[in-house]
């Protein structure tokens, strides 16, 4: 829950975008604008997030089809 905002802040700094906390407090830039770092962060962060989403879905399907513990049915009411 802390990694996503922190990575967005890092990416925004590399992209030379001003980050404003809650629309009130402008945050300082932690790194200078860097096109190479921006491109690298974009790829790494996107694929890392994709990896964790896929692993989460696979884990839910494992609970449903392999463990048969009713976890997916508790999350999705239409499976009851």
- Asked if residue 10 lies in contact with residue 41, where contact means CB atoms within 8 angstroms, the answer is yes
Residue pLDDT tens, the chain, 80 long: 898 999 999 999 999 999 999 999 999 998 999 999 999 999 999 999 999 999 999 999 999 899 999 888 888 888 77
Greatest Cα-to-Cα distance within the chain, rounded to the nearest angstrom:
52
- Count of domains for the chain: 1
pLDDT of residue 73: 83
> Whole-model pTM?
0.75
For residue 20, the Cα-to-chain-centroid distance in whole angstroms is: 19
How far does the chain reach from its first CA to its final CA, in angstroms? 30
Distance CA 52, CA 67 (A): 21
Domain of residue 52, residue span: 3-79
């Amino acid at each position: 829950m802390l990694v996503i905002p922190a990575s967005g802040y890092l990416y925004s700094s590399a992209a030379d975008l001003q980050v404003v906390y809650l629309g009130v407090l402008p945050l300082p830039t932690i790194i200078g604008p860097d096109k190479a770092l921006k491109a690298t962060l974009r790829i790494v962060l996107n694929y890392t997030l994709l990896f964790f989403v896929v692993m989460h879905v696979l884990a839910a399907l494992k609970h449903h089809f392999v463990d048969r513990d009713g976890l997916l049915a508790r999350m999705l009411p239409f499976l009851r």
